[in-house]
Structure 1
Amino acid sequence: MADSAGSAPRHRSRLRLRTAVLEREIKFRIPEERDAAAVCDAIEGAGFRLESSGLVTHEDGYLDTDDWILFRAGIALRLRREGERLTLQAKTIQSKTGEVLTRTEWAQEAPPTDPPWESLPNGPVAILLRPLAKLRVLARLTTRARVESERKMFRWLHERELLGSVTLDRVREAGTQNGGDSYRELEVEALDGAAAALEEVRAAVERRLDLHTSVESKLAAALATAGEKLPEMPERAYALYEGDRLADVAAKTLGRHLTRMFWNEPGTRLNLDPNYVHDMRVATRRLRTALQVFAMAIPEETRESLGRDLRWIGRALGGVRDLDVGLRRVAAMVSRAPEHERAALYVFARYLEIRRARRRVRLLRRLDSKRYEAFRERAQRWLDGGPTLWAPIAAPESASAAGGVHPALAPAYMVGPRIVAEWDNRMREACQEAERKSTPANVHALRIAVKHARYAVEYFAVSEGQSAHHRARQLARLQDKLGEHQDAATLLRHMRRYARTIPRRDRQLLLGARGVMDRLEPETRITRGELHELWELGAGADVT
């Protein structure tokens, strides 16, 4: 209940100052022509009870850097002022589920001064942001949007059981008072164990009022009140055109994937969603392939410098990502494993989590290193330089004898087919080797060859047309199939290492681990049917 001063209940705030909270809620944006009381009536009509618990006003300042590091990391950071109290709150932007928003929230006392800050008092938000320290986030914070809210609060009950809370907000841009645009939003937040009741509320409001839940984040809504919107990955400068030279395609391809790599770095550092590691790793892999595919358009010194650093950071990213894939696969195996194998899988998952934590520490050390900082600075110079920096146009000895034009300056549609054919041939050679002897090493080499062939096709798809897009999708499916074999082989290797650590006296655990290994072993092998499909796909790729 509200205290005598009408402020928000304090027990929940104290909990949030100690730890992260998993928040489950639904939101409804209420049109101006609708009566907000009708939504409350719909909730009570579904068999629930709302009990008023006070009225508060607060101001929220949404903080981020000029290049949106926090948003790119997947969190929104806000400074909430409620009377004399200042609270710093962070919340994940993406929900873990669909219509019911499931997000994690951290909160702690804020510094007494406005941002930027040199440091934060020790607390959940400070701990959360530590992996971003090298990016100097705190010292670069600025207020991106500021809103004021008038909040009516209700306790949400079923008979005498407290299920959670309902709040009704009137939100407007800070400082506009009654003259600015505003909107109303009703939130229903459930305590643990009340998720089913949350779904009942959603269904009741939708059925009675034809009002659907909103998934817009408060950050996006706050920016909208100021006439702004959240940023998108800046890739438009790297759009490809049919008339591009090979040097243009090379520069744009490298620029696009360097942009993706750096865009996903904050999320990789923060570690709230494994997809950031995946996307950053994919960007490094595509970059390394591009350096080989466009070798004639990129100076050797640049290729070697970029390649060394990308291989170095890519290995650290791959070490973490491989264990993410393994953990996901183990979770799927548990649901269908016999009882005697489940205990082994549960312990094995903890083993993988420990290894992942160690590899993540190594990854963060590399991201914080002077070598990575120098790589980022060089990459930015290359991005700013464009095709004239990438293409060795002052190398007449490399020009074709017929026309004296360096291949890098030729139209991509003329050079591309021959380049793609070269990678197709390499793929077929790897396929033949895997068919001759389908060892894990040969299957892995085949997967790499398919990946390179796929990327080469994609790099020239704009000039080659729809058939290239179709073929790239085929190669992607085959790459995924081969990836399943490789993932199984990697997991089997980890399982064998783990099994060697099980004490001999723990016979049940040993039997469970052996059962899991027996189940994984066939999944590491490739069938002749898959190899034949690869051979057929690569047939006829020669360019004369």
Structure 2
Amino acid sequence: MTPSEESFHLDSQASGRQVLKAIAARFSTRSELLPNRKTIYYDTFDWRLHEAGSVLEVNTDDRATTLRWQTPDGPLRELLPPDGVPAFAWDLPAGPLRHALSPLVEMRRLLPLVHLETSGEALQILDDNRKTVARVVLEETSAIRPDETGQRQSLPLTLRAIPVKGYQKAFDALLQMLSEESRLEPAPTPPLVLALGAIDRQAGDYSSRLDLRLEADQRADEALKQVYRSLLRTIIANEPGLRADLDTEFLHDFRVAVRRTRSALSQLKGLYPEATVSEFRREFNWLGSLTGPTRDLDVNLLKMADYRALLPEEVRADLEPLTEFLERHRGLEHRRMVQALAGKRYRDLVERWQTFLDQPPAEGELPRNAATPIGELASRRIWKAYRRVLEKGEAIGPETPPEALHRLRIEAKKLRYLLEFFRSLYDAEGVTRLVKALKQLQDNLGDFNDFVVQQATLGRLAQQMIDERLQPAETLMAMGRLQERLENGQEREREGFYRRFEKFSAPGNRKRFRRLFKQQERPER
């Protein structure tokens, strides 16, 4: 196994030259000319590579452009054409790197985080046979923001000790010399983190997950404003990528934050004046409706690979006219959505909502639940939502229509949102186990609903294609066969529901819900 390279920071070129001179005096060396190098670090907007403990970079010099993905299991590399930096994992050539990267980033675009420009000099450490057994590189680097500002910042002068496979002892001797004679200590900060800090960024500075720190005795109205502020930050953070159509998940995260906001406004009542709540509920409902058609078409396009896989290979190409139809309509809907988001109604909503959330706590006569401790209100609402899920789930039988499972799916989603809003108030392990069980039920209900909706959608799309005189007979036949496959999937998920619900409603989970959220009986306020 090849050891990892080590980096050391130096305070000046003079001290760096001194170290190189000391290395040359201690070991047999050969000078190496280094071409200037440009490096661009990439990750998804939601930092999927960083969260997986990996780093993706593209290095370009006068010899080649190389994509390098450093993972916990080691590096993977891919030579690229000079102008061939991929936007998505599926743009990479087929091979081990694409195979490993695709499941991690999925449909997310690879975005440039920071540009580096590096120049330097190097020494090769040689053995008695004049073979290179290690390398030392002294580098000057500037970090540059990948935006119109082009903000540039110099990074600390860096000495890199680079191992060569099969020569561990030589590398150990080099590290020992750098530590004992040159008094160098390994750089404490990874290069990417250092470069991001130089341009005022931080790895992991965006996540769609709620990360709140609520206190059980907080006033409920103020605690909920913390939730709403976090959701508004998510909405605003995703706006630029949504408008620029960088990838489908910007709209997805935007819509989830809007949906969570709507759910909280509907479920957690008696905190603010009713007229205020009604106004914002109406406007966020409008925002959900505005963004829905584009998201629906996104989902259809993302499903196309699955659709093709459900059909015999010889007829898969017959779905291509459907793909083209969806892409054309999706482009139209996206333009309409972006135009509306640039309009006064949306701008006013964001400004009024931000102003409302920034207002100090209300005084005097308050709505009935405003001053209630959030721990009490959250427990009451979660317990009620949980009981509703149990009641509706227990009523599902073989003859129950699909609409009832759809309503159960909505109730389960409401419960999930409440658990996400208030999980910081409760035992973390207990809530995590309940969320896991609930998510498994939601996955089943969601897949069942998707099969129902997709069948209806295919029927509607077929009629639209006929109306627009875009109805190749083979495409309509393929869509009909696909509807049959989807109906089979719907039946499988329906059969799987009982097992998932039984697991969710098992005695152990009932005890956990009761222990965490059941309070002394008191009238609902």
TM-score by length of 2: 0.60
CA contact (8 A) 1:440 1:524 kept: no
Residues 344 and 521 from structure 1, CA distance in 2 versus in 1: closer, same or farther, beyond 3 angstroms? Answer: farther
* In structure 2, C-alpha distance between the alignment counterparts of 1:515 and 1:208, rounded to whole Å: 61
AA in 1 matched with 2:438:
L
Residue 395 (str. 1) matches residue 365 (str. 2): yes
Q: What is the deviation of 1:451?
A: 0.2
Q: Which residue of 1 aligns with 2:157?
A: 182
Distance (whole Å) between structure 2 residues aligned to residue 72 and residue 533 of structure 1: 30
| Inter-CA distance 313–509: structure 2 relative to 1 (3 Å threshold) | same
Contact 1:172 1:225 in 2 (8 A): no
Q: Does the CA-based 8 Å contact 2:228-2:261 persist in structure 1? A: yes
Q: Please say if 1:384 is aligned against 2:358.
A: yes
- Which residue of the partner structure matches residue 501 of structure 2? 534
> Hey, what does 2:393 align to over in structure 1?
431
Report the aligned-residue RMSD.
5.0
User: Which residue in 2 is equivalent to 1:442?
Assistant: 404
AA matched with 1:499 = A
Does the 8 A contact of 1:148 with 1:174 survive in 2?
yes
State which of 250, 263, 287 in structure 2 corresponds to 1:313: 287
Aligned to 2:141, the other structure's residue is in SS state: strand
Query: Is the 1:247–1:297 Cα contact (8 Å) retained in structure 2?
Result: yes
Separation in structure 2 between the aligned mates of residue 275 and residue 361 of structure 1, nearest angstrom: 17
Residue 422 of structure 1 corresponds to: 384
Shift of 1:448: 0.9
Q: 1:325 to 1:71 in 2, by over 3 A?
A: closer
SS of match in other structure, 2:214: coil
Q: What does the per-residue CA deviation read over 1:367-425, in whole Å, with 9 as the maximum and x for residues that have no partner?
A: 11111111111122123225x15xxx5336x6xxxxxxx53322223232221232224
Q: In the alignment, what sits opposite 2:477?
A: 511
Q: 2:302 & 2:291 partners in 1: Cα distance?
A: 17
Cα separation, 1, equivalents of 2:115 and 2:471: 63
- Confirm or deny: 8 A CA contact 1:264 1:276 kept in the other structure: yes
> In the alignment, is the contact (CA less than 8 A) between 1:492 and 1:520 conserved in 2?
yes
- Residue type matched to 2:454 in 1? L
Which residue matches 2:348? 374
State the alpha-carbon separation in 1 of the partners of residues 245 and 47 from structure 2.
8
Letter in 2 for 1:534: F
Q: 1:463 aligns with which of 425, 443, 459?
A: 425
User: CA deviation digits over 1:27-56, x for unaligned, max 9?
Assistant: x98846999xxxxxxxxxxxxxxxx9x966
Partner of 1:454: 416
Shift of 1:229: 4.2
Whether contact under 8 Å (2:437, 2:503) holds in the other structure is no
CA deviations on 1:80-119 (whole Å, 9 max, x unpaired) are xxxxxxxxxxxxx9x9xx94589447xxxxxxxxxxxxxx
Whole-Å separation in 2 of the counterparts to 1:61 and 1:519? 44
1:322 maps to what in 2? 296
The answer as to whether partners of 1:428 and 1:535 remain within 8 angstroms in 2 is no
Q: Deviation string for 1:216-235 (max 9, x for gaps)? A: 99986544457864682499
Match of 1:267 in 2: 241
Query: Superposed, which structure 2 residues align to 1:174-253 within 5 Å?
Result: 181-183=156-158, 222-225=195-198, 229=202, 232-233=205-206, 238-253=212-227
Q: 1:458 touches 1:468 (CA, 8 Å); kept in 2?
A: no
Corresponding position of 2:183:
none
Counterpart contact for 2:143–2:199, Cα < 8 Å:
no
User: How many Å separate the matches in 2 of 1:469 and 1:174?
Assistant: 40
The answer to whether the 8 A contact 2:239-2:250 is kept is yes
- Cα 1:356–1:440 change in 2 (3 A) is farther
CA deviations 1:104-150 (Å, max 9, x no partner) are 47xxxxxxxxxxxxxxxxxxxxxxxxxxxxxxxxxxxxxx9997544
2:456 aligned with 1:493: yes
- Match of 1:295, SS state, is coil
Tell me the equivalent position of 2:141.
172
Deviations along 1:135-193, whole A, 9 cap, x unmatched?
A: xxxxxxxxx999754489xxxxxxxxxxxxxxx99443489x9x9723489xxxxxxxx
Q: Do 1:57 and 1:151's aligned partners in 2 also have CA atoms closer than 8 Å?
A: no
1:223-259: CA deviation from partner (whole Å, max 9, x where unpaired): 4457864682499995223333322331221122112
Letter paired with 2:340: R
User: How much has 1:290 moved relative to structure 2?
Assistant: 1.0
Letter in 1 for 2:293: G
2:340 counterpart SS class: helix
How many Å separate the matches in 1 of 2:287 and 2:381? 27
Q: Give the letter for the 2:444 counterpart.
A: K
Whether the 8 Å CA contact 2:223–2:374 is kept in 1: the answer is yes
Equivalent residue of 1:523, what SS? helix
Q: 1:514 to 1:184 in 2, by over 3 A?
A: farther
Contact 2:212–2:227 (CA under 8 A) maintained in structure 1: yes
Q: Distance in 2 between matches of 1:276 and 1:169?
A: 40
| Aligned counterparts of 2:167 and 2:462: Cα–Cα separation in 1 | 57
Q: Confirm or deny that 1:291 pairs with 2:254.
A: no
Alpha carbons of structure 1 residues 380 and 340: separation in structure 2 relative to 1, 3 Å: same
Identical positions, percent: 24
Rounded to whole Å, the distance in 2 between the matches of 1:484 and 1:219 is 39
Structure 2 residue ranges without an equivalent (≥5): 9-15, 21-32, 49-68, 88-112, 122-136, 145-151, 172-188
Q: CA deviation at 1:475?
A: 1.4
Aligned to 1:520: 486
1:272 shift after superposition: 1.7
Q: d(CA) in 2 for partners of 1:524 and 1:230?
A: 41
Q: 1:409 and 1:504 mapped to 2: Cα distance?
A: 60
Give the AA of the match of 1:518. Answer: E
The residue aligned with 2:324 is: 350
In structure 2, distance between residues paired with 1:61 and 1:473 = 37
The offset of 1:320, in angstroms, is 2.5
Task: Describe how 1:33-112 pairs up with structure 2 within 5 A.
Answer: 99-100=76-77, 103-104=85-86
Distance 2:46 2:346 in 1: 19
For the residue of structure 2 that corresponds to 1:289, the secondary structure is: helix
Deviation at 1:306, TM superposition (A): 1.9
CA contact (8 A) 1:461 1:468 kept: yes
TM-superposed deviation, 1:332: 2.5
- Partner residue of 1:124? none
Distance between the aligned counterparts of 2:76 and 2:333, measured in 1?
35
Structure 1: how far apart are the matches of 2:312 and 2:205? 46
Cα deviation 1:292-318 (Å, max 9, x = unaligned): 222122322232222122212222333
Partners in 2 of 1:504 and 1:229 — Cα distance?
49
Which amino acid in the other structure matches residue 501 of structure 2? L
Q: Summarize the Cα distance change of 1:492–1:172 in structure 2 as closer, same or farther, 3 Å threshold.
A: same
Query: How many aligned residue pairs are there?
Result: 390
SS at 1:407 equivalent: coil
